Structure 1
Amino acid sequence: MSNKAARVPPVGRRRVHGEGVDLAVYEQGDPARPTLLLVHGYPDTHAMWDEVAALLAERFHVVRYDVRGAGASSRPFGRKRYALDYLMSDMRAVLDATAPDRKVHLVGHDWGSIQGWEAACTMPDRFASFTSISGPCLDHVAHWMRRKLARPTPSNLRRAAGQAARSGYIYFFQTPLLPELLWLGGLTRLFTRALAVGEGVAPRPGHPARTMARDAAAGVGLYRANMVRRLRSPRDRRTDVPTQVIVPTRDLFVSPHLVGGLGGRVPELSLRPVPAGHWVPRSHPGLVARWITEHVTGVQGGPLTAAESRTLGRARVRPERRPFDGSLVVVTGAGSGIGRATALAFAGRGAEVVAADLDLETARRTAELAGPAARAFQVDVSDPTAMEDFAKAVLHEHGVPDVVVNNAGIGMAGSFFDHTADDWRKVLDVNLWGVIHGSRLFAAQMAERGQGGHIVNTASAAAFTPSRALPAYSTSKAAVLMLSECLRAELKGRGIGVSAICPGIVDTGITRTARFVGQDEAGQARSRDRAARAYARRGYGPERVAERIVAAVRDDRAVVPVTPEARLGRLASRAAPGALRLLARLGPG
C-alpha cells in the first residue's frame, strides 16, 4: 500500500432511521473538526464521492449517506415517498445523528444539490455554507424559464430551448413503468459506457454501483414526485447561507445559463466555472475538493494564500463586479505599445496584472499605471532559462495566471538577401520562440490547475499578407499564427482558449526600434522616421488593439484581424491569394 493510500482516513458506517426508511451513513475524519455533509445525486450512491471525500477527510469530518432508494438505504414504495419533504426529513435525521450541536457545510451534486437548495432555503440555521454542483434549485429553474419566455428575444428563446432539450429525459421519466423496465433490463451498461466515453469517467469499484439498476428504477420517483409540481407552482426560494455554485460548462443536463438571476436570491453567492461535464466530482476530484476547502475556509475566516484569496474574490458575485475581477493576467512586452495598452485594459476591468518587459523601467511604469495590485518583471522572452524562472516566480508569488498575453516582439525589414543568419535568429528567438516559451510554460500551469484559462499570442496581418520587404518578420508571425491554431486544437479539451491577434498598421513604438537591414545607420534612421510618420498618420492606436484582445478572451475568438487592412488581408488570403502574391512584389527593389 502506498503512503498516500495509508493516509486516507478509514470509513465508518452506521444506520440512521429517517422518515420511514433506514439510511446507510458513512463517516470519515475527525468528528471534532468541521463537518461536511456530501449528498449524492441520481443514479449514484455515496460512493460517487469516494475520491473527493478521501481528500477532504484529511482536514474535515466528512459525512455521506445513501439517499432513500439508493445503495444500502431502504427503498420505499410509492411516488410520494420521494417528495422533497421526505428527503428533508432524512437529511435532518442524518444531521441530528452526526453533528447535532453545530452547523455543517453542505455539498450536493445533481439531485443531492437539488436537495441542498431545498435544505439551505428551508432550514438555513443548520448550515454554515453550501456548495452546489450540477443541481439547480427547482423553483429557481421555473422562475428562470418564465423570465426567458416572458421576454422572447432570440437569445432568451435559444437558452430556454437549450435547457428544455437537456431536460428531455425528465419528461420521459414521467411515463409509467417504461423507465423502470429499461433500467432493470440493462440500461446500466449503456450508462456506464456513456459515462466513460462522454465524460472520461472510467468505472471503478463502487461507481457505478452494483445496485445501480434497482437504484435507478427506484429513483425515478424523485422526478415524478417533485419535478412537475415545482415547475408548475414555483416558490420564492431564498437563502442567506454562503453559497458556492460549481458550474461545469460542458454539462449535458444543466445549462450554465441557469445561474442567471441567482444573485438576487442568494446574497452571498460565488460562481466557479470549470470546463468539465456533469460528473465533475469524479472527473476532477482534486479541483472539487480544493474549491470546497477554499469556500469552507473562507466562510470560517481561516487563513488563505494570496492565490486562494484572489480566486475567491473572482468567484464572488457582486452588483459592482467587473468582468475580470480577481483574474491574474500576464503580459509580455508590456513596457509600451500594445503590451502596455493591454495591461491597462485588463487592469481597468479588475484584473491583477503582471507586466513583463526586457526594459524593467518601462515595465515598472506600466505597473504604476495599472494600479497597486500590478507587478513588474524583467524578462528576456527569447531566453528559455529566463522564461522558466519568470513562470516559476509568477506561480510562487501570484499563482496560476488566468490569461497570458504573449505580446513581446521586434520588427525587421529589408531584402531576404540582406538578412544574415543572426538577423533571422534574432527575429525568430523573440517573435516565435518567445511565444513558444510563454505558451508552453503557462499552459502547463493552467492545465495542471484544471480550471481553464486563455492564451493570447500577438501575431500580425503580415502572417497572411506576404511582402518582399518583411521576409523574417512575416515568417515569424505566420509561425505564431499556426502555432496558435495548433495550440487551440490541443488545449480546447482542457478548457484553455487560444487566440491569435493580427494587427495591421498600428501606431506603436515598434517602428522606432525596428531594424532595416542592408542600410547604414543614417539610412536606417531615415527609414524608421518614414515608417513612424506613416503609422502615426494611420491614426490607429494600441488602445484599440487592446480592446480587441480583451474581447477575444471574453468571446474565445480564434483569429482576430484587428484593423480594416488586416481584415481585408485575411479575406484576400483566403479568397484571392494570387492577388496578394502580386501585391507582395511591390516595394523597394
Structure 2
Amino acid sequence: MDDEVTTPDGLRLAVVQRGDRSGPTVVAVHGYPDDRHVWDGVADVLAGSGHHVVTYDVRGHGRSDSPPGRAGYDLELLAADLRAVCDAVSPDRPVHLLAHDWGGCQAWHAVTGDALAGRVASLTSISGPCLDHVGLFLRRRSPRDLPAVLRQALHSWYTLAFRLPVLPELLWRSGTLPGALVRRERVPRPSTRDGLRGLELYRRNMARGLGRPEPRHTGVPVQVLVPLRDAYVTPALAVSATTFADDVAVRYLPGGHWVVRQRPELVARCVAEHVAAAEGDPGTEAPALRRARARGAALAAEGGRAGPASRWSGALAVVTGAGSGIGRATAQELADRGARVVVVDLDPAGAAETAGAIARRHGRHRAVAEILDVADDAAVAALATRVATEHGVPDLVVNNAGIAVAGPFADTGADEWRRIVDVNLWGVVHGCRHFGELMRSHGEGGHLVNVASAAAYLPSRVLPAYSTTKAAVLMLSECLRAELADDGIGVTALCPGFVNTPITTHARFAGADDAEQETRRRAAAAAYTRRGYSPERVARRLLRAVEKNLPLAPVTAEAHAGLLASRLSPTLTRALARVEPR
C-alpha cells in the first residue's frame, strides 16, 4: 500500500507499508544511489514473519520530492524526515530502524542526537556508519591503527570525487558510473536522476561531518552487520562504532556492499532476531545474536579495534579428539580466549576430563562433553543437529580426531586400512559435511580446521596408510576452501609435525606381534618426548592460522622444512622416503 508523509519543510515522501501492522514496526532506510526497492527482498521476508515493515524513498530519490537546493540534503533534515515517517506509521510504539549506506549515516545521526528521542527500540546498521564516527576513525594515528586507516581512505576515494564540480555529473549522464555499478556489484541499473540528486548528500554533509567530528553516543540497542567483501566500508571502520553504543552486537556476513540484495533472507533473519531481543526477554535471544553481543562488548573494550579478544569472545567451537593431545590443548586454549567449547571424543573419560578442566577454570557453561566415533556418519549428523539445537551453529569446527598406523604397505592388513581410512579421512569428511552444511545454511560464515600432518606432503616407506589418509585430508581441505569461500567459510589444513601427544601410545605397527607393538610404541613415544614440541604450542598456532585464514598451516620446524623441500625438490623428498628409520 502506498502512502505519503509530509516532512516538516513541506516535502512529500513516498511510503510503502506491508505486513501485520500489529507486529513490531521496522522502518527501513535506503542509501545512495538506491530507492526503497533495495529493501524489497528483506521486507517481504520480514513481513511474512509477522513484522510491520515500512520502506520509503528518502528526499530526492524515487517517488519522493526533491528539495530545491543543496541545503535541503542536510543530515538534520534527513533525521527530521525519519521522525516524521516514524510518527506517521507507528505513533504509539517505538520503531526498529534498519538502515543501509547513507540510510545508516542518517539513522546513526538521528539516534545519537535528539531527533528520535524515545521513538526507537533498536537500530540495525549495514555499511552506513555515522559520519562523526568516520571522522574520528580517520584521525587515529597509532602504528596499530594506521594500516586500517589508510585502507579505509583508499576505499573512500569516491567520496572526494563526488564533491568535485561537473565530473560526477558527467560520469552519471554518460552511463559510466551506473554501468560500473552494474558490472562490479551486480545490482540493477540505478536511476540517473537519483544518482545526480543524491550527490548533494556528499557535498552538503561530508566536509562538516568529517571536519568537526564528535563522539556521538546512543543508548539504543545497535546491531552492526559487517559485509566482509564491502568495497566501500571496511570491517575496521564498521566495528569502530562499538565504542559509541551502550549495547551493541556485531555480526560478520559473507557478501559485498549490497548484501541486502544479495542475501535478503540472511539480513532479514538477523534483523528479526535483534527485533525479538529488543521486544522481549533478553534471556530468549538467539544464540547467534548472543555471541554477536559478546563480540560487540569485546570490541568496545578493545577501543573499537578487532583483536584476539573480540575474535573468540562468545564464539562456539566444536573440537573432535579433544580428550587428549592437540584436541585437548585446542579446547583449553579456546576456552581461555573466551569461547564455549563442545569437547568431542570417543573416550568418555578423556572428554569428561577436558570439559571438567575447562569448567573448573571458566565455569560449567563454557564446555560440554560429547562422546562420538567420528567414523560413524549417522552419529556425526546427530551431533551436528544436537549442537545446533542446544548451543547454536558453531563458529569453528576442528576435525582433529585421528589414529596412527605404521609399517610397510605389504604388512598393513585390510582391517587396518579400513579403520585408519574410517577415522582419519571419513571422520573429517563427516565433520565437514554436517557442520559445514550448518554453517552454509546459517549464512554467517565460520571456519573448518582439518588436522592433517607433515606426512601429507612427505612420502615415507614406513607410513603408507597414515600418509595416504593425511594427504587426502589436505586435498579435501583445499577443495572445500574453494567451494565454501563465497559462503564466508574458511578452511585450514593443519600439519603439525612431531608433537608430544598420546597418539604414539595408541599407534598400530603393522606386522608386529603384541610384544613388538609395545616396544615400538615406547620407542616412538620416547622420540616424540625428546622432540619436546607441546600440544599447547600447536593449539596457539592453530588459532593463529584461523585468525589469518591460512589455507595450509605447517607447525613445527620440520613441518615447515618438509613443505619447502616438497615444493623445491620433490626428488629429494622421494629419496628421503626410501630411508628406513631405526
Q: How does 1:92-491 map to 2 (within 5 A)?
A: 92-123=83-114, 124-148=117-141, 151=142, 153=143, 156-187=145-176, 190-191=179-180, 193-194=182-183, 198-199=184-185, 201=187, 203=188, 208=189, 212-259=191-238, 261-302=240-281, 304=284, 307-308=287-288, 310-318=290-298, 319=301, 323-371=311-359, 372-373=364-365, 374-491=367-484
Deviation at residue 389 of structure 1 after TM alignment: 2.1
Residue of structure 2 equivalent to 1:504: 497
Shift of 1:182: 3.1
1:195-244 residue CA offsets vs partner (Å, 9 max, x unmatched): xxx4455x4xxxx56xx111111111111111122212223322222111
Q: Is contact 2:321-2:344 (8 Å) kept?
A: yes
CA distance in 2, matches of 1:182, 1:521: 80
How far apart, in 2, do the equivalents of 1:292 and 1:36 lie? 9
Report the CA distance between 1:189 and its aligned residue. Answer: 5.2
Closer/same/farther in 2, CA of residues 52 and 322 from structure 1, 3 Å limit: closer
* Residue identity in the other structure for 1:176: P
* Alignment counterpart, residue 70 of structure 1, candidates 43, 61, 65: 61
Q: TM-score, normalised by structure 1?
A: 0.92
Q: Does 1:91 align with 2:79?
A: no
| Match of residue 4 from structure 1 | none
SS in structure 1 at match of 2:54: strand
Are the equivalent residues in 2 in contact too, given 1:328–1:351 (CA < 8 A)? yes
> What SS is found at the alignment partner of 2:164?
coil
Q: 1:277 to 1:345 in 2, by over 3 A?
A: same
1:13 maps onto 2:6 in alignment: no
The SS at the match of 1:122 is coil
Deviation at 1:573, TM superposition (A): 1.2
Q: In the alignment, residue 106 of structure 2 is paired with which amino acid?
A: Q
Distance 2:524 2:5 in 1: 81
| CA contact 1:121–1:238 (8 Å) conserved in 2 | yes
Aligned counterpart, 1:6: none
Once the two structures are TM-superposed, the CA of residue 457 in structure 1 deviates from its matched residue by 0.5
Equivalent pair of 1:294/1:312 in contact (CA under 8 Å): no
Deviation string for 1:423-462 (max 9, x for gaps)?
2222111111111111121111111111100000001111
Contact kept, 8 Å, 1:243 with 1:266, in 2: the verdict is yes
Q: Which residue of 2 aligns with 1:571?
A: 564
Q: 1:42 to 1:244 in 2, by over 3 A?
A: same
Partner letter of residue 341 of structure 1?
A: A
Number of aligned residue pairs:
565
Tell me the SS of whatever aligns to 2:543.
helix
Structure 2's unaligned 5+ residue stretches are 303-308
The answer to whether the 8 A contact 2:70-2:204 is kept is: yes
> TM-score, with normalisation over the residues of structure 2?
0.93
Q: Read off the aligned partner of 2:57 and give its amino acid letter.
A: D
Q: After the TM superposition, which of the residue ranges 486-495 and 506-515 deviates more from structure 2?
A: 486-495
3-state SS, counterpart of residue 317 of structure 1: helix
Provide the C-alpha distance between the structure 1 equivalents of 2:293 and 2:209, rounded to a whole number of angstroms. Answer: 33
Q: 1:540, CA displacement in angstroms? A: 1.4
C-alpha contact (below 8 Å) 1:467/1:585 kept by paired residues: yes
**Partner-residue secondary structure (3-state), 2:112:** helix
Per-residue CA shift, 1:267-308, capped at 9, x if unaligned? 222211112100111111111111112222222333636634
Q: Distance in 2 between matches of 1:391 and 1:244?
A: 27
What do residues 318-340 of structure 1 show as CA deviations (whole Å, max 9, x unaligned)?
42856422211111111111111
* Counterpart residue identity of residue 561, structure 2: L
Contact kept, 8 Å, 1:269 with 1:316, in 2: the verdict is yes
The 10-residue stretch of structure 1 (418-427 or 27-36) with the greater mean CA deviation from structure 2: 27-36
Give the gaps of 5 or more residues in structure 1: 1-10
SS in 1 for 2:118: helix
Supply the AA of the counterpart residue of 1:222.
L
- Aligned CA distance change for structure 1 residues 257 and 308 (closer, same or farther; 3 Å): closer
Match status 1:29 vs 2:19:
yes
For residue 456 of structure 1, give the secondary structure of its aligned residue in structure 2.
strand
Identity of aligned residues (%): 51
Query: Offset at 1:536?
Result: 1.3
- 1:31-50 Cα distance to aligned partner (Å, 9 max, x none): 33322211000111111111
Q: Does the residue aligned with 1:77 lie in a helix, a strand or coil?
A: coil
Separation of aligned partners in 1, 2:101 and 2:349: 52
C-alpha RMSD of the superposition: 2.0
Post-superposition offset of 1:18:
4.2
Separation (CA, whole Å) in 2 of partners of 1:33 and 1:415: 69
- Change beyond 3 A, Cα 1:417–1:223: same
2:306 alignment counterpart: none
In structure 2, distance between residues paired with 1:189 and 1:221: 17
Amino acid at match of 1:277: G
Query: What does residue 72 of structure 2 align with?
Result: 81
Q: Is the 8 A contact 1:357 1:378 kept in 2?
A: yes
Runs of 4+ in 1 over 6 A off after TM superposition: none
Shift in CA distance, 588/167, structure 1 to aligned 2, threshold 3 Å: closer
Residues 19 and 90, structure 1, Cα contact 8 Å, conserved in 2? no
C-alpha separation in 2, matches of 1:16 and 1:33? 24
Which position in structure 2 is the counterpart of 1:521?
514
The residue that corresponds to 1:5 in the other structure is none
* Cα displacement (A) at 1:96: 2.2
Alignment-derived partner of residue 45 in structure 1 = 35
Cα displacement string for residues 447-490 of structure 1 (whole angstroms, at most 9, x for unaligned residues): 11111000000011111222111111011111111111111122
- Rounded Cα–Cα distance in structure 1 between residues aligned with 2:447 and 2:104: 30
Aligned equivalents of 2:295 and 2:40: distance in 1?
26
For the residue of structure 2 that corresponds to 1:291, the secondary structure is helix
Cα offsets for 1:377-425 (capped at 9, x unmatched): 2221112222222222222222211111001100011111101222222
Moved more, 362-371 or 463-472: 362-371
- C-alpha distance in 2, partners of 1:272/1:533? 47
Partner deviation per Cα, 1:132-191 (whole Å, 9 max, x = no partner): 11011111111111113xx3x3x5443222222222222221122332343234347515
* Aligned mates of 1:306, 1:116 — CA distance in 2: 25
AA of the residue aligned to 1:51:
G
- Distance in 2 (CA, whole Å) between partners of 1:71 and 1:41 is 12
Q: Distance in 1 between matches of 2:7 and 2:538?
A: 64
Distance in 2, Cα, partners of 1:388 & 1:112 = 42
Q: Quote the Cα distance in structure 2 between the aligned partners of 1:184 and 1:218.
A: 12
Task: Tell me the amino acid that sits aligned with residue 67 of structure 1.
Answer: V
Indicate how the Cα distance of structure 1 residues 91 and 306 shifts in structure 2: closer, same or farther if over 3 A, else same. closer
Give the direction of change, closer, same or farther, for the CA distance of 1:309–1:334 in structure 2 (3 Å limit): same
Cα 1:290–1:306 shift into 2, 3 Å: closer
Contact 2:155 2:233 in 1 (8 A): yes
- Does the residue aligned with 2:483 lie in a helix, a strand or coil? helix
